[in-house]
Structure 1
Amino acid sequence: MSHNGEANTNHIMAVISQVEEWSSLKSLLQTSCQDEGHQVTCSSLGAYQVCSVTVEDEMISLHYADLKEDMSDESICQAVETCIKPCTNGISSFLLLIQGGCYTKKERRLVEILQAHFGPEILKYLVILSTEDGEVVDTLDDALLDLINVCDGRYCRITSSSVTGGLHSLLEMVNCTLSESGVGGYTEAMLAEAKRRCTEDSAMKLLKQKVEEAENKEQEFKDFVQMQENRRTKEMEELKAKHARERKKEAAERKKYEEKREGLQEAVISHKASLQLQMTTPSDDETKAASVILLGLSGSGKSSALNLILSRAGNQYSLNGSTHEPTHPTLSCEKKVVFAADRRLILVDTPELWDEDGVENLALVKDCLALALPGPHVFLLVLQVGRFTQGENNMLGYMQKTFGREVAEHSIILFINSEENQSKPQRVDDYVAEAHTTLQDLIRKCGSRFHGLNITNNRSALSYPQVRELLLGINKLVASHGGRPFLTKRFSPQELQERNKVIVEKKEDMLEINHLLRSE
């Protein structure tokens, strides 16, 4: 203390606490005034109280504004400001009072309000003072320890037995803080700067809030638009599915109608053909005639089989001779007639009616049907023993596509065995039994009707019973259909008769030309 009894230094501190802690501190200071000889004066300056304590040559002025628990944040800040504004050079520190080392939610709230309003630098000037005139906690709270650490360890205690020691510790902490900061304390300029930053932060926070609200609204709008798009997409998919079902239903109904219409057309054509056949009075020879069309790939032996049937049907064979004559490729449909078993048998030899892709030669198809009139009654599908190609496997399908699906009911498979060097020809039954399943399926589709012919240079007499069996099979098949010919729906009888007439005229012209050439 100076010689005139006045303190050389006056530390102004803004006390931050509730009324209870402030009252406890004043009580301790006033008690120490009597016991330890400190000078303590308390007064009121308008809205806040001042408690001045002289310790040796230094004075501590504690400025306190009543802070109540139910006050708003803004009211608390205004109350603390009233303690600072009268201090032209600022205050030395903020003094946070706690009771008995207990850091409660009330004190935590006050610290948060101070930081928000006075800026984070307030922690540089914050000193924590624990008044301990009663019960004291054994261990400091973790939150209090964290705060002490942030405040660089500025924590001191004032007890009823050691007020002076506590005040000395407080002064040392304040002096050290002021020395390190290099300024006189927390000034009103700092407060103004803190308010400015707070205003900017509030404005920025408000702006961010507005931006977030705008983004949320934008996202909500996008979600709404997406939901609408999803709904429309779903409706479109449902509509497309509905239209697809309707189109499928219409297509099925149209197909059913077309099938019914085609069936009616076929029935009309068949009926007309039947009427035309009934109107045509056939001769006795025609009623007993049976026409057979031989079909097969090139080299299958159709022409050889036809020649053998012609010769054997009239019992023309020799035990020593051979009827196996070289044949040339068939280029056009040819008709042969033989009388056998009191029946006129018409045999129509054909070249290949289909190409490798199964495309028919319409002219040849029409020719073979025309030459087979009043039939055809039977189709002989000629295959060679030991050879069964994919093309031959497809033959029945080609026949059904060209003549109609019922052609299989009028078909017989004829196997030709022309291996001249084979000492003992293989029986056709054995060959079929050992054949591939695809060939067996083909035979099954033709009603399991098959025969065989051996065409060799020797043992020619053996072919006679084979021809007889074949003729019996042909007659049996014709009889199973009541002697009625196979009716194709593609050409009318008149059209085929006209075609037959043209073929006959061409043949007569060729014979006449050949006769003239020979006579020259």
Structure 2
Amino acid sequence: MSEQDVKAEIEKCVNMSAPGPHVFLLVIRLGVRFTDEEKNTVKWIQKNFGEEAAHYTIVLFTHADELVDLSLNEYIRENIEIQTLVIDCGGRFHSFNNQDMENCNQVTELTRKIEEMVRINRGKHYTNEMYKQAQKNNEQDEHYNTNTTLSIILVNGGEGGDRGDGGGGGGDLRIVLLGITGSGKSSTGNIIIGSFKFKRGISSMSVTKHCERHETTVEGRHISVIDTPGLYGTTMSEEQLKNEIVKCVYMSAPGPPVFLLVIRLGVRFTHEEKNTVKWIQKNFGEEAVRHTIILFTHADQLKGKPLDLYISESNALQALVNECGGRYHSFNNKNMEKRSQVTELLEKTDRMVGINGGQHYTIPMFKQAQEKIEREAFQQKVTDFGKTALTVAGGVALAAAGPAVVALGKAAAKAFVAPGAVKTLLTGATAAASLNIY
């Protein structure tokens, strides 16, 4: 088929799935050579369907029966190109055993993974509008490439290039560290910076009391790291913690491309850690999860066990990783001088930023999240006040009617508690509520 014919078929497939598909399954066959064309399929999808399409894509490996001596996780881990492909799709993948096609469980499991992805995407699906925008961008790119080749060469030839994009193409990168007390946030910051700038300590209470920012240069690239007070294990009041959250966002202005959710390995996975993604969503907004990577510290505690195997053995830990789009990395705290673990983290961050269309988390997103918290707090206050008013009004009505009920006896009790009296009391309580709230 010609390129024009392929384009026509693509348009047809989008229209056939109107109002738009919830998922693209990128099908890769196992047991055969991984071709150059397959390596570039994500770029092809992004070009033809737009950057947003990667948010709705799961890699489906067929012929899993061909993997005789390896698990699928091991196979992916041993092939850097396939691993890159999976990461480009948010770490989402599944496999089918073609020798066991009657096994409905593999379809059920795929459906579960699709539903999980849809939930992370907040129920949204890929739309015809996204496709039209992608085609429009392609036309503009073709026009731009045809008419402004000289300009491109001149811009890219400038010294240093663009260092203010916040991530994704080797520009400046701002990293915010989040995690419970004792997870190893400060040590993580020191590993990234390459020196002991952040204060560390072994304590049940947070060593970091205020947001701190330190900077470094990695392979000619300016990196800023912002450490935050530990969640749940701090003497700070909720208001003080909120103020530090505000500070960390503004210290990373115009906003961080990445939040590193730091989890310590080798210790019990706590109830608080299980709820850290919900905490991030509540305080930074739903969008923040798209900019989050889980960073496991103390990987040396695994004593040779593969990290992906360790994750798969814990449903709670696997769920946490899934909520962050399958993105994770680890640091070996016994080998803090190993710079390759930092370089690899930056590469994963760049891929995530690329999937996010080069966008970073922004201060307007944070403000929107805080406004939502205030609205919900206000609504809860109204609800609680209403319940109190009803309780008080009901108690007054019954107290007033009590002696008469005793005198008249049980037969007349229902008739005596006049609905009008209760209604009058409730009206007064409602008016009082209006005055107190506003």
TM-score (norm 1): 0.34
- Structure having the higher strand fraction is 1
Larger RCO, structures 1/2 (Cα 8 Å, 6+ apart): 2
TM-score (norm 2): 0.40
